[in-house]
Chains A and B, each alone.
Chain A
Amino acid sequence: MFKLVKRLTSVVAMFAVLFTFTTETMAAKKSKTLKNTQKKGFVRCGVSQGLPGFSNADAAGNWTGVDVDVCRAVAAAVLGDASKVKFTPLSAKERFTALTSNEIDILSRNTTWTLSRDADIGLTFVGVNFYDGQGFMVRKNSGISSVNDFKAGVSACTNLGTTTELNMRDFFNSKGIKYEPVTFEKADEVVAAYDAGRCDTYTTDKSGLAAQRIKLSNPDDHMVLPETISKEPLGPVVRQGDSVWEDIVRWSLNTMIEAEEYGVTSANADMMKTSDNPAVKRLVGAEGELGAALGLDNEWSLRIIKQVGNYGESYKRNIADTGILPDRGPNELWTKGGILYVPPAR
Chain B
Amino acid sequence: MNFKKILPQLLTLVVVILVFGFFSYNAQVNMENRGITFGYGFLSQESSFDVQFSLIEYDGSHSYFRAYLVGLLNTILVSVIGIVFATIIGVVVGIARLSSNYLIERTAAIYVEFFRNIPLLLQIFFWYFAALRALPLPEKAEPMFGVFFLTIKGFFVPAFVWNNLDIFIYSVIAAIIAIVFVRLYAKKKQENQGIQTPVLSISIGLLIILPLLSFFLGGVGASVEIPVIEQLSKTSFTFKGGLKLPPELISLALALSLYTATFIAECVRAGVQGVSKGQKEAAASIGLTPNQVLKLVVMPQALRIIIPPTTNQYLNLTKNSSLAAAIAYPDLVLVFAGTALMQTGRAIEIVSITMLTYLTLSITISIFMNWYNKKIAIKEK
Residues of chain B contacted by A168 (CB below 8 angstroms): 50
Query: Chain B 9-38, CB within 8 Å of chain A: the 1/0 string?
Result: 001000100100010001001010111110
Interface-located stretch among A80-88, A146-154, A286-294: A146-154
**Chain B nearest CB: distance from A114 CB in Å?**
10
Q: Do B235 and A160 touch (CB < 8 A)?
A: no
CB nearest neighbor in B for A186? B326
Q: Please, which residue of chain A has its CB at the minimum distance from the CB of B342?
A: A161
- Chain B CB within 8 A of A36 CB: no
Is the CB of B193 closer than 8 A to any CB of chain A?
no
Assess the B35–A240 pair: CB atoms within 8 A. Answer: yes
11 pairs, A vs B, C-beta closer than 8 Å: A15-B22, A26-B29, A116-B345, A142-B236, A160-B325, A169-B50, A169-B60, A196-B132, A198-B247, A200-B232, A200-B236
Q: Decide: B327 and A184 in contact? CB cutoff 8 A.
A: yes
CB within 8 Å of B: which A91-143 residues:
92-93, 96-97, 100, 116-117, 120-122, 138-139, 141-143
In the complex, how many residues of chain A place their beta carbon closer than 8 angstroms to a beta carbon of chain B? Answer: 58
Give the number of residue pairs across the A-B interface with Cβ within 8 Å: 145
Q: Quick check: is A185 within 8 A (CB to CB) of the other chain?
A: yes
- The 8 Å CB contact of B328, one of A11, A151, A183, is A183
Are B11 and A161 in contact, with the CB atoms below 8 A? no
Which residues of chain B (232-246) have a CB below 8 Å from chain A?
Answer: 232-236, 238, 240, 246
Complex contact A193–B338 (CB within 8 A): no
- A-B contacts besides A122-B36, A144-B234, A165-B49, 17 pairs, CB < 8 Å: A8-B11, A117-B345, A120-B345, A153-B238, A160-B334, A165-B343, A181-B50, A182-B328, A183-B328, A185-B326, A185-B338, A189-B326, A192-B129, A196-B133, A239-B34, A240-B34, A240-B35
Please state if B343 and A166 are interface contacts (CB–CB under 8 Å).
yes
The answer to whether A275 has its CB under 8 Å from any CB of chain B is: no
Asked if B223 is an interface residue, CB under 8 A from chain A, the answer is: no
Contact between chains at A93 and B33 (CB < 8 Å): no
A200 CB contacts on chain B under 8 angstroms: 232-233, 236
**Residue in A15, A19, A198, A241 whose beta carbon sits within 8 Å of that of B132 in the complex:** A198
Residues of A within 8 A of B8 (CB): 4
Nearest-neighbor residue (CB-CB) of B232 within chain A: A151
Per the bound structure, the CA–CA distance linking A18 and B18 in Å amounts to 12
Report chain B residues within 8 Å CB of A344: none
**Quick check: is B220 within 8 A (CB to CB) of the other chain?**
no
Is B217 close to A, CB under 8 A?
Answer: no
Residue numbers in A under 8 Å from B7 (CB-CB): 4
A96 to B347, CA, bound (A): 9
Interface membership of B101, Cβ < 8 A: no
Cβ contact within 8 Å between B339 and A161: yes
Contact A93 B129 (CB under 8 A): no
